[in-house]
Structure 1
């Protein structure tokens, strides 16, 4: 089985869990294209910058595999482009991992981002619920009381709600998926590879930068 076929099957399974998230915005992928075009295009949440959104889930093995490529690509983006990672929850069991990402961001500890992927996919630690997540974060040197307060805060709840809105608005059916400038969506199921996804996203970005 090719990577493309494997990814397609994985995305199809994820899509079944995401069926309730469909939104009025449509994605159209023409024959031969390796990306979908959004109609209508979506505005940026970051003023005066082109947004690149990576929809991901810590529990997703494809996201873990593509993470180093995303990090490398992010370092090459010009000043008028911002890359934001958007944690996706296709069901309630994924919600605490969303909160984990935004809590690390709020505490300026996204240096632990890669460690989360490693813990889940290499070390096979079941850090999917609040208690296990908190114990793991504390083991990495983060103060328990501070993390718990942030994790359960209104601000983190608001960010997860916005992530859910974006997932719905962009019709994200599987992870990883990359949205470029509110106009295009690219994923490994479309391109057949992780690097191909980055390459096509960069091509779409180049068209927007030329405008």
Structure 2
């Protein structure tokens, strides 16, 4: 009986030991340091993780449930923000995302947009018009007039410009990309590797703030 309890205890400790033995991220291999980098939404006492994504991106679609699961265990001090890759000021998907933010419906509708493109094919993967995007959001229960107003608002114009500047400053090369505290761009070789590296960079940032 005692031997069984000891064996069980060792099994329970294995994940912790494996995590502790994870090598620290290496600059140039695991991440790039962003010169003059700034956070997207500064919040004292937290570590910021920004996912730059595109709704049309198949890898972003695969990454979404992984990131959702990861952030539930990342720690109370970690703040995860989604940021659309606003390649064009007329990008209807990016404008639609910022409309969702303004209307407080990101949690409910953000996953549905990936489903609409990658599984249901009810929205085009590229070149969606503002009308198509607004129509889809209205079909999810949002007020159509409020959606149109939010997508075309000066506040959304500002966010589109800021998102593009953030991506350019970060040296964005593709999606999805994780940016930690505005200082580090993750260079994961796989989607899971990106989360491993993010864990290491978060640990580095926590150590600096102590």
TM-score interval (norm. to shorter): 0.7 to 0.9
TM-score, structure 1 normalization: 0.77
**1:181 aligned residue:** 181
- How many residues are aligned here? 178
Q: How far apart are the structure 2 equivalents of 1:130 and 1:191?
A: 33
Aligned alpha-carbon RMSD (Å): 1.9
Question: Which ranges of 4 or more aligned residues in structure 1 deviate by more than 6 Å?
Answer: none
Instruction: Work out the CA distance in 1 between the residues paired with 2:105 and 2:68.
Output: 15
* Structure 2 gap ranges (5+): 1-25
Please list, as runs of the form range in 1=range in 2, the aligned pairs for 1:152-167 lying within 5 A after superposition.
152-167=152-167
Which structure has the bigger radius of gyration? 2
Hey, what does 1:42 align to over in structure 2? 38
Cα distance in 2 for residues equivalent to 1:182 and 1:131? 33
* 1:68 lines up with 2:52 in the alignment: no
How far apart in 2 are the matches of 1:205 and 1:46?
Answer: 15
Counterpart in the other structure of 2:52 = 55
Deviations along 1:11-68, whole A, 9 cap, x unmatched?
Answer: xxxxxxxxxxxxxxxxx953xx222222344356313132211110111111111011
Q: Does 1:98 align with 2:94?
A: yes
Do the aligned residues in 1 keep the contact of 2:89 with 2:160 (CA within 8 Å)?
no
Looking at structure 2, the residues matched to 134 and 44 of structure 1 have their Cα atoms a distance apart, in angstroms, of 26
Show structure 1 runs of 5+ residues with no match: 1-27
| Residue 202, structure 1, aligned to residue 202, structure 2 | no
TM-score normalised by length of structure 2: 0.78
